[in-house]
Amino acid sequence: MDYHWYPGHMTKTIRQMQEDMKLIDLVIEIADARLPRSSRNPDIETLAAGKARMILLNKADLADPEGSEAWRRALEEEGLHPVLIDARKNGSLKSLTPMILKACQEKIERDRRRGIQNRPVRAMVAGIPNVGKSTFINSFAGSAAAKTGNKPGVTRGKQWIRMNKQVELLDTPGLLWPKFEDQEVGKRLAMIGSIRDEVLNTEELSLEVIAFLAGNYPGKLAERYGVSEEEIPADVLTAVGRRRGCLVRGGEIDTEKAARLLLEEFRAGTIGRFTLERP
C-alpha cells in the first residue's frame, strides 16, 4: 500500500508559513509522542532555521513511558526543549510559559539591551495533521480559542491567540510533505490516524498493527482479545473478528469491521501504551 496524502492547500500553507516566520520568535512544534520522529515534518526544520525551537510530545498518555523518556533525552540533546504533554489536560501545560520564556531567553535579553520591555513572545504552533495542535491551544488558553476536530485537516485559516501577557500563539494548518521518501514513515502515521482512513486499505493497515504488536509488545493482543499471537496476522484478525462478533450474513467474519475495531482501539490506547519508533 502506498501511504501518500497531500491535499492542495498544503502548498499554500508552506508559502504562508514562510511569510509568518518573519513575525515570530519561537516555533513550537507539536509531535505525537508515539512517533516523535515520523510525526515531524522535515519542512518545519527548514522553515524554522534560525528561530528558537520547542517540541511538545503530545498524547504522551498513549505512549510507552520508557520510550517517551528516551525520546525526551535525545531531543534535549538536540536543543529542542522537549516537553511531554497530554493536550487534553491543561494541568500538564502549567509549566509551559516559563519554558517558552527559557527557550527565547536570548531574544528577550536582546530586546532588553535595545530598551524593549515586556513585549510578548510570539510563537508559531506547527505540526502535521491530527497531532493535537488545536486541542493544545484550547487547553493552554483555557477556552475554545481554536477550532478543533478529530480528523486530519480540520484547521484551515491563520489565527493569533493571546495566551497571557507574555505569550502570543499563531496557529497554522497541519502540514504534511508531498511524498514520504520512506514508506515506513507513512505506514506509522497511518497506524496512529494521521492519514485519513478513507484513502487507505484499513485491512492491510490492521495487519501491520498486528505484526507490530506481536513483534514489539508480545502478549498485548492475547490479553485484549484472547487470540493466539503465533498465527499469521490475517488469521489473528479473523480471530479478533470472531471474538468480537464482527459477522456478516451467513456467519462469516467481517474482516473489514474487525480491522476498523482493532485500529480504533490501538489508536485510543485501549490495547495499551505503545511507542512505534525509538531514538
Give the DSSP H/E element, type plus range, for residue 124: strand 121-126
The predicted pLDDT at position 255 comes to 96
- Distance (Å, rounded) from C-alpha 147 to C-alpha 133? 10
How would DSSP label each residue in 6-75?
--THHHHHHHHHHHHGGG-SEEEEEEETT-TTTTS-HHHHHHTTTSEEEEEEE-GGGS-HHHHHHHHHHH
pLDDT score of 103 more than 70: yes
In which band, very low, low, confident or very high, does the pLDDT at 204 lie, cut at 50, 70 and 90?
A: very high
* Selected residue with higher pLDDT from 48 and 275: 275
- Give the contacts of 138 (CB within 8 A, at least 6 positions apart): 144, 145, 146, 148
pLDDT digits (tens, 9 = 90+) for 67-97: 999 999 999 999 899 999 998 887 767 778 8
* Selected residue with higher pLDDT from 33 and 49: 33
